[in-house]
Amino acid sequence: MLSSPALPVDPDRDCPLCPRLHDFIAGWRQREPGWYNAPVSSFLPPEGEDSVRFLIVGLAPGVRGANRTGRPFTGDYAGDLLYATLKRFGMARGEFEARPDDSLELIGTAITNAVRCVPPDNKPVGAEINTCRTFLVPTIARFRNLKAILTLGSIGHQSTVRALGARVAAVPFKHGARSDVGGIAVFSSYHCSRYNTNTGVLTEEMFVNVFRDVAKFLQE
| CATH at 110 | 3.40.470.10
User: What are the distances in angstroms from CA 127 to CA 70, 78, 133, 172, 205?
Assistant: 23, 25, 10, 20, 34
pTM across the whole model: 0.96
| Pairwise pLDDT comparison (2 vs 10), residue with the higher score | 10
Instruction: Look at residue 6 in the predicted model and tell me its pLDDT.
Output: 57
User: What are the distances in angstroms from CA 80 to CA 20, 72, 76, 212?
Assistant: 29, 12, 7, 18
Give the count of domains, the chain: 1
Residue 181's domain spans which residues?
19-219
Can you tell me whether residue 165 is helix, strand or coil? Answer: coil
Query: Is residue 132, in this structure, part of any structural domain at all?
Result: yes
- Average pLDDT, integer, range 67-76: 97
Query: Is residue 54, in this structure, part of any structural domain at all?
Result: yes
| CA distance linking residue 13 with residue 80, whole number of Å | 26
Query: Is residue 128, in this structure, part of any structural domain at all?
Result: yes
Which residues have CB under 8 Å from 185's CB, separation 6+? 147, 148, 149, 178, 179, 217
Query: Is residue 41, in this structure, part of any structural domain at all?
Result: yes
Question: What are the pLDDT digits (tens) for 21-59?
Answer: 999 999 999 999 999 999 999 999 999 999 999 999 999
Query: Is residue 115, in this structure, part of any structural domain at all?
Result: yes
Query: Is residue 13, in this structure, part of any structural domain at all?
Result: no
Question: What are the pLDDT digits (tens) for 72-104?
Answer: 999 989 999 999 999 999 999 999 999 999 999
